Structure 1
Amino acid sequence: MSYLRFDKTLMINLEESLPREILRTNKSGAYHCTTIVDCNTRKYHGLLVIPVPELDDENHVLLSSLDETVIQHGAEFNLGLHKYQGDNYSPKGHKYIREFDCEKIPITTYRVGGVILTKEKIFVHYENRILIKYTLVDAHSATTLRFRPLLAFRSVRQYTHENPHANREYQEVENGIKTCMYPGYPELFMQLNKKNEFHFEPYWYKGIEYTKEQERGYDSNEDLYVPGYFEVNIKKGESIIFSAGISEASTNDMFEKFEEQAARRTPRDSFFNCLKNSAHQFHNKQGGKHYLLAGYPWFKCRARDMFVSLPGLTLAVDEVEEFESVMETAQEAIENYINNRPLNCKIYEIEDPDVLLWAIWAIQQYANATSAEQCKEKYGDLLKDIIEFIHKGKHDNLFLHDNGLLYSNGENKAITWMNATINDRPVTPRTGYIVEVNSLWYNALRFVAGMMHTGDKAESIFADSLDELAKTTAQSFIDVFLNEHGYLLDYVNGQPSDWAVRPNMIFTVAFEYSPLKPEQKKRILDITTRELLTPKGLRSLSPKSIGYNPNYVGPQILRDCAYHQGTAWPWLMGFYMEAYLRIYKTSGVSFIERQLIGFEEEMRKHCISSIPELFDGNPPFKGRGAVSFAMNVALILHVLKQLNKYY
């Protein structure tokens, strides 16, 4: 039995199949994403979605979908599926699906009378190309396949509609055509490995609707351009490959490339392997730089997300060299930032006050995975530079006070991971002494001090100064954040304290170095368990706190109000589980294993074999937001790695 196989009963039930999405990336920013029945439900969906740096910094949908038609004895059976106004679906090709399996590569099996046809998709790594292999498993008479491409040539943020400016011209290439709808875009090459006939029959498919955009309160209607169709005969047992890319493919090499790419895929035959495959999809190598995207399908490389995700997406799957490769790009960006030079890369939000501290945390995980000596040799100077940059008050919004705590102004601008805004104002205006910023600060002081104590006299003196500062920070942290109820205040600004119970206090228990005593840690863990824990993550706000809003639904403004006001976040659960293991050690393993069951269930839901951005904070804890989120995948992998120490 395949780990990720879906039978006919589920596939033909659109209430079950349409919410399930499939994502494949090329590790260079391009991707293929749709539902498991190949019906696009988002404007971000498409067979070939690629960055076009000549136009902007967004991804662009070139090939939206490909409708296949099986022809026998003059009868046509269209396997495509699109939604139109009034909840109308056409051509309803999903009724021919007998099985969908994506354990290794996505493979759909269709049955049309006596015809059994399989479709397998490969998104080629480091190339803007998708390959689709069709195999006629069984047929009792002559069979023809027709392929009708639906083109968009537009940003993922926009829609296309019928217009007189679209270029209808095309040129023939080997076993196919190339075309480009608008200036500035690359040419799209569509080819088959076998000689075929292309029939020029330009037409606009009008009024295609995307249900996920409707749910989110956005415009949801577009027209797609069809230049014509390809027809090719296929025999029983024969396989045919369709290629779509921005360069001409060698039709003689298509099978070899398909098989070579398929052989390199890790089967998604377990919870860990699903997450490992998902981890690989966030890597983005462009222009000699190595980034980690924050999520799919709409996120870019955000500095905080990158550093929080980096250990889990690399070290937790035993890919130390990948950590170092990403860190090489990140280190250059950090050094440029602290020296007030242009970043010269596509890393965003590096100026947020907690980002450099998360970078230190990520490097700390590298030291734990390799050795302190190796870590110091590679990143010792960077660690020292970051600490001195903060200590000397050079950060625009990170101020070290005499009590050893860091102060940041977040009244008018969202400055932490709780970054939802309405009319450019933060929904959760966290300002002053922020709990996780100072948890990160204390942990960083102790970690860097311990590393520098192994150096020369100058480094030892520097380490001593950090230890002294850490002592002051520890006492002030307890005085400022720990309240009489035994949990930590989320932020303190000299005004009446905000008593809301939020998950950011869990970092202080999870980090390797903490200013708290064991009994204080346990009390915080107990309160977190009681008020914030769900099967899908930690709530961003306790149901007992004012403003609790657990359901991330509706138009943008309503979703922004709920984003950090009660929704559940799996990456926070990762730190919670690490905190739990720090306190309970071996006796806590069975509890952690039970918590992970809730995430293994997600491998067959939402985005198959990945974890979405967030979940509603109340039952049934429905997945919401981006279909695949880097921090969530990373922290679950990080916990799985920690569990290995106890087996």
Structure 2
Amino acid sequence: MTVDDDRDLSEWLETDGLGGFASGTVRGQRTRRYHALLLVAQKPPAERVVLVNGIVVVVETPDGEYPISTQYYRGDVRSPDGGKRLESFSIEPWPTWRFEISEAVTIVQELFVPEGLPGVAMRWRVEGPRSGLSLRVRPFLSGRDFHALHHANPDFDSTTHRAAGSLSWQPYPDMPSIHAQANARFIEAPDWYYGFLYTAERERGLDDLEDLATPGEFHWDLNPQDAYLLLSANQPISKLSGNEGLSAENCYAAIAQKERHRREQAGREAETVRSYIVKRGAGASVIAGYPWFGDWGRDTFIALRGLCLTSPDRLAIAHRILLLWSETVSQGMLPNRFPDRGDTPEYNAVDASLWYIVAIQESFDAHRRENRGFPHGETTRLLAAVDAILDGYTAGTRYGIRMDDDGLIAAGEPGVQLTWMDAKVGDWVVTPRIGKPVEIQALWINALAFAGRYDRDRRAQLEIAQASFTEKFWNEADGYLHDIVDHNHVAGSVDAAFRPNQIFAAGGLPIALLDNDKCRRVVEAVEAQLLTPIGLRSLAPGHPDYKPRYQGDLRTRDAAYHQGTVWPWLMGPFVEAWLKAHGGSDAAKSQAKQRFLQPLQEHLQQSGLGHISEVADAEPPHTPRGCPFQAWSYGEYLRIKAMVQ
């Protein structure tokens, strides 16, 4: 893509499949604390740390020096501003920048993160005459938790350790060592650079200044060779990749050839999917979003429906994920998330377990369509997990989650957030949704319907729940569903706020809970009040709690998170329900493709390049916010794409 001022802070992402990643902006300016070249997971996919934050890159010519990197400092000082020489940028097959040095000379900078390795490979090549050209690269190191910021201190060890073919640094004893291989001279010149300013952190009301250490500078003569720099954690990348003994340029060539072939075979869509799939123990999981989320249960099960179940090539990955999570069932619940540090999962989610059952059902159905089966023992494990969940909810489990006498699921207690609308600041739960939330009933009834395929007792539960649902939730006067009934566990009370959660009961899941006329009325109401080009609003305009923008400090943002803010992932269930309401004809699919899919495809080039954002402002121009790379947003985009084919 060509670069302009509106797009030069769009973000790119490279991931290692272990939880680590490299990321930054097209311009090269780090705007987040998470932007880094070497960010690795010490206990995949968790305990992530930043080791190499960035680099200064300067091209030397007979006519003078030309920086091609960008740094941003306290006081809004951009120095150097190498981005002004940026001619074009592409993420194919990996992030590649073209810098115009003169009419005759272009420097091409490229980098990639090899699959399965905690490292990054970089190359600078010359297009045009090389005579008199040289290159300097100064790395900036920290050694910190990826959520934290780094400041100058006397404990940082900038000593350069030299070994055959590589250099290394050990900034702190409890951090991984940093290894570098390059076809360059390295000149030791330890120093501190102070006051890097991260504008995205400032906009989010967070600490925004950082100090970084540099151990020195790499020097290349670009006549006659290109420049190569390989950075990795714990060991040299040549050893990690099985290329021990190779020079930096030959090691780069070996891993680049392998990586290029893999990406070309997979294609861009599969490569984007791969960025969210991570190793956890002997199994696999899904990173909810980059740059700050880990693997969350709810997000994993929603996301894998699109990431994995829309392609026969990825069914085995979905199966591995489902098997891994089957081992985590406790009292009928699956974890909401695994923490960044420590092994104790958090179980504060009423919907994660039910989404898990939906994912199992759709995985079984997808395998059946492809005439593939599961080993008997694995089927038994998954169905045992389903039964354990349904038994736990029927009998009652944590946080007041239980099946009530009407066959529906009641949940919640003060101070705990249990649904996907889970914003909490201190002791303040912004949207507590205590009682019987509408989407929980839709998920519960779909789960019972699946279990009813092999268990007669579940069919009896299903009939009771289905009969209760329409009677209690349907708002005939307004033609839509209440968001919560028996609100705050008070029989007969309702929360009639108009939210998107009702779409799951009106065709946004495999089984609709309403008749065709009521489904159509819900879809029309949601379309009229909540639909935007890239997702659904989380609350209708006009409600006293409606927030038009998702901006400001943490408390202000969380107050808006589910109070109007647009969520792209909700476009998936909406389109599913919309197509059912319009008969699923070819004409309906064609209309849906143009109206709903095309704006999402345009968004792929607007924020996190090749990805779909977490959220957006409720009001035009619906500026993307939150994580620029969100798993369930991209997964639902793929589901929509499959629906409208």
Normalising by structure 2, what TM-score? 0.91
- Pick from 317, 326, 329: which aligns with 2:324? 329
Q: Residues 53 and 140 (structure 1 numbering): CA distance in 2 closer, same or farther, change over 3 Å?
A: closer
Does the 8 Å contact 2:332/2:353 carry over to 1? no
Is 2:390 the partner of 1:390?
no
Counterpart in 2 of 1:630? 631
Q: Distance in 2 between matches of 1:513 and 1:140?
A: 65
Relative to structure 1, the CA distance from residue 160 to residue 600 in structure 2 (aligned partners, 3 Å threshold; closer, same or farther) is same
> Shift in Å at residue 395 of structure 1?
5.1
Q: Which residue of 1 aligns with 2:241?
A: none
Please give the per-residue CA displacement for 1:418-472, whole angstroms capped at 9, x wherever unaligned.
001122221011011111111111111112112x1xxxxxxxxxx3222222111
Establish whether residue 362 from structure 1 lines up as the match of residue 351 from structure 2: no
Question: In structure 1, how many angstroms separate the alpha carbons of the residues matched to 2:27 and 2:343?
Answer: 34
User: Equivalent residue of 1:89, what SS?
Assistant: strand
Pairing of 1:565-576 with structure 2 (within 5 A)? 565-576=563-574
Q: Deviation per CA, 1:358-404, whole angstroms, max 9, x where unpaired?
A: 11111111122122994795233332332223223345532111111
In the TM superposition, residue 177 of structure 1 has moved relative to its aligned partner by 1.3
Give the equivalent residue in structure 2 for 1:307.
Answer: 301
**Paired residue type of 2:109:** K
Structure 1 window deviating more from structure 2 (563-572 vs 92-101): it is 92-101
Which residue is 1:243 aligned to? 230
Instruction: For residue 124 of structure 1, give the secondary structure of its aligned residue in structure 2.
Output: coil
* 1:504 matched to 2:492: no
In the other structure, the counterpart of 1:427 is 430
Cα distance in 1 for partners of 2:269, 2:67 equals 35
2-structure distance, mates of 1:567, 1:495: 29
2:589 equivalent in structure 1: 589
Q: Does 1:401 align with 2:404?
A: yes
Residues 324-358 of structure 1 show CA distances to partners (whole Å, capped at 9, x for unaligned) of 11112111112686699x99996844442211111
In 2 relative to 1, CA 626–283 (structure 1 residues): closer, same or farther, beyond 3 Å? Answer: same
CA distance in 2, matches of 1:145, 1:176: 19
Structure 1 CA distance, aligned partners of 2:525 and 2:260? 47
Is the Cα contact below 8 Å between 1:198 and 1:231 reproduced in 2? yes
Aligned-partner residue type, residue 319 of structure 2 = E
Letter in 2 for 1:262: R
CA gap of 1:312–1:162, structure 2 versus 1, over 3 A, is same
- Equivalent position amino acid for 1:479 in 2: E
| Code of the aligned partner of 1:31 | F
Displacement after TM superposition at 1:122 (Å): 1.1
Tell me the residue number matched to 1:217.
205
Contact 2:294-2:338 within 8 A present in 1 as well: no
Q: 2:618 aligns to what SS in structure 1?
A: coil
Work out the CA distance in 1 between the residues paired with 2:521 and 2:343: 41
Residues 1:499 and 1:52: Cα distance change in structure 2 (over 3 Å)? same
1:179-225 CA-to-partner distances (Å, cap 9, x unmatched) read: 01111111101111x2x221111111111100000101111111111
Query: d(CA) in 2 for partners of 1:407 and 1:595?
Result: 34
RMSD: 2.4
Cα distance between partner residues in 1 of 2:411 and 2:298: 16
Q: How does 1:406-555 map to 2 (within 5 A)?
A: 406-450=409-453, 452=454, 463-484=455-476, 485-492=478-485, 493=487, 494=491, 496-509=493-506, 510-555=508-553
Instruction: Look up the match of 2:195.
Output: 207
Classify the secondary structure of the residue corresponding to 1:91: strand
Task: Specify every segment of 5 or more residues in structure 2 that has no aligned partner in the other structure, as ranges.
Answer: 239-243
Structure 1 position 496, deviation (Å): 4.0
Cα distance, 1:365–1:242 mapped onto 2, change above 3 Å: same
Alignment partner, residue 279 of structure 2: 285
Q: Which residue of 2 aligns with 1:188?
A: 178
Encode CA deviations 1:129-150: one digit per residue, 9 max, x unaligned. 1001111122252221111101
SS in 2 for 1:16: coil
SS at match of 1:117: strand
Matched residue type, 1:207: G
Alignment match of 2:350 (pick from 350, 353, 357): 353
* Equivalent residue for 2:12, pick from 22, 38, 62: 22
DSSP 3-state at the match of 1:66: strand
Offset, 1:53: 3.8
Question: Do the aligned partners of 1:438 and 1:477 also contact (CA within 8 Å) in 2?
Answer: yes
Aligned residues: 614
Mapping 1:41-190, distance limit 5 Å: 41-53=31-43, 57-73=46-62, 75-113=64-102, 114-190=104-180
Contact 1:304-1:349 at 8 Å conserved across structures: no
d(CA) in 1 for partners of 2:612, 2:334: 37
Q: CA deviation at 1:102?
A: 1.5
**Partner AA of 1:589 in structure 2:** K
Note closer, same or farther for the CA distance 1:158–1:382 as it changes in structure 2 (3 Å cut). closer
Cα shift readout 1:103-153 (whole Å, capped 9, x = no counterpart): 221111112124321111110111101001111122252221111101121
Secondary structure of the residue aligned to 1:264 is helix
CA contact (8 A) 2:120 2:230 kept: yes
Distance 1:286 1:541 in 2: 36
The separation in 2 between residues aligned to 1:266 and 1:449, in whole angstroms, is 43
Aligned in 2, Cα 1:175/1:343: closer, same or farther, shift over 3 Å? Answer: closer
Which one-letter code corresponds to 2:101 in the other structure?
A: V
CA distance in 2, matches of 1:174, 1:141: 30
- TM-score scaled by structure 1? 0.90
In structure 2, relative to structure 1, the CA distance for the partners of 1:577 and 1:215 (3 Å cut) is same
Whether 1:231 aligns to 2:219 is: yes
Deviating more after overlay: 595-604 vs 564-573: 595-604
* Structure 2 Cα separation of the partners of residues 337 and 65 of structure 1: 45
Instruction: Mark the CA change 1:549 to 1:375 in structure 2 (over 3 Å): closer, same or farther.
Output: farther
Query: Which ranges of structure 1 fall in alignment gaps of 5 or more residues?
Result: 453-462
Instruction: Give the AA of the match of 1:17.
Output: D
- The reply on whether 1:6 has 2:7 as its aligned counterpart is no
Change (3 A) 1:599 1:483: same
Could you tell me whether the CA contact under 8 Å between 1:353 and 1:397 is conserved in 2? no
- Percent identity, aligned pairs only, is 29
Q: Secondary structure at the match of 1:301?
A: coil
Query: Equivalents in 2 of 1:85, 1:464: separation in Å?
Result: 67
What amino acid does structure 2 have at the position aligned with 1:467?
A: R
Select between 426-435 and 254-263 the one with higher mean Cα deviation. Answer: 254-263
Which shifted more, 633-642 or 613-622? 633-642
Q: 1:486: Cα distance to partner? A: 1.6
Shift of 1:299: 0.3
Counterpart CA distance in 1 for 2:618 and 2:269 is: 23
Q: 2:395 and 2:560 mapped to 1: Cα distance?
A: 37
